[in-house]
Amino acid sequence: MPVQNLNRKRFLVTGGAGFIGSHVVDALLARGGKVAVIDNLSTGRRENVNPGAAFYEMNIADWEKLDAVFREHRPDYVYHFAYHVIVPKSIEDPTLDMDSIRGSLNVLRAAKTYQTKKIILSSSGFIYGNNPRLPLKEDEPHDPCSPYAISKYAVEGYLRFYKKNFGVDCAILRHAAVYGPRQVTGAMAAYVRDLRDGKPSEFYGVKTRDYVYIDDVVDANLRVLEIPPSHPNPVWNIGTGRETDLVDLYHMLARFLKKQPQVVRLPDRPGEQNRYCVDVAKARKELGWEPHMGLEDGVKATLTYWKLI
Q: How many CB atoms lie within 10 A of CB 309?
A: 13
What are the pLDDT digits (tens) for 22-51? 999 999 999 999 999 999 999 999 999 999
Q: What's this model's pTM, rounded to 2 decimal places?
A: 0.96
Here the CATH number for the domain that contains residue 220 is 3.40.50.720
Supply the pLDDT for residue 168.
Answer: 97
At 156-182, the pLDDT tens digits run: 999 999 999 999 999 999 999 999 999
Asked if residue 152 belongs to a domain, the reply is: yes
Confirm whether 304 is domain-assigned. no
pLDDT of residue 298: 98
Is 148 a known active-site residue? Answer: yes
Residues 152, 23, 186, 82, CA torsion sign:
negative
Work out how many domains the chain is built from and give that number: 1
Contact between 220 and 236 (Cβ < 8 Å): yes
Query: Which pLDDT does position 9 carry in this prediction?
Result: 97
Phi, psi of 305 (to 5 degrees): -60, -40
CA-based torsion, 159, 165, 170, 175: positive or negative: positive
Q: pLDDT, tens digit, for every residue of 54-87?
A: 999 999 999 999 999 999 999 999 999 999 888 8
Residue 212's CB: how many other CB atoms inside 10 A? 29
Residue 204's pLDDT band, with cuts at 50, 70 and 90, is very high
Closest CA to 56 of 75, 69, 47: 69
Assess whether pLDDT exceeds 90 at residue 1.
no
Query: What confidence tens digit (pLDDT) does each residue in 121-155 have?
Result: 999 999 999 999 999 999 999 999 999 999 999 99
Strand 244-245 versus strand 208-209 pairing type = antiparallel
Q: Tell whether 114 is covered by a domain.
A: yes
For residue 66, is it within any domain? Answer: yes
pLDDT value at 2 more than 80: no
As a whole number, mean pLDDT of residues 263-289 equals 95
Selected catalytic residue, list 83, 114, 128, 148: 148
Checking if the pLDDT of 248 tops 80, the result is yes
- Does the residue 145 lie in any domain? yes
The rounded Cα 215 to chain-centroid distance in angstroms is 12
Domain assignment of residue 32, yes or no? yes
pLDDT of residue 84: 87
pLDDT at 285: 98
Contact criterion met (CB below 8 Å) for 237 and 125:
yes
Residue-number span of the structural domain to which 67 is assigned: 10-179+211-239
> Average pLDDT over the chain, rounded to whole?
96
Residue 192 lies in a domain: no
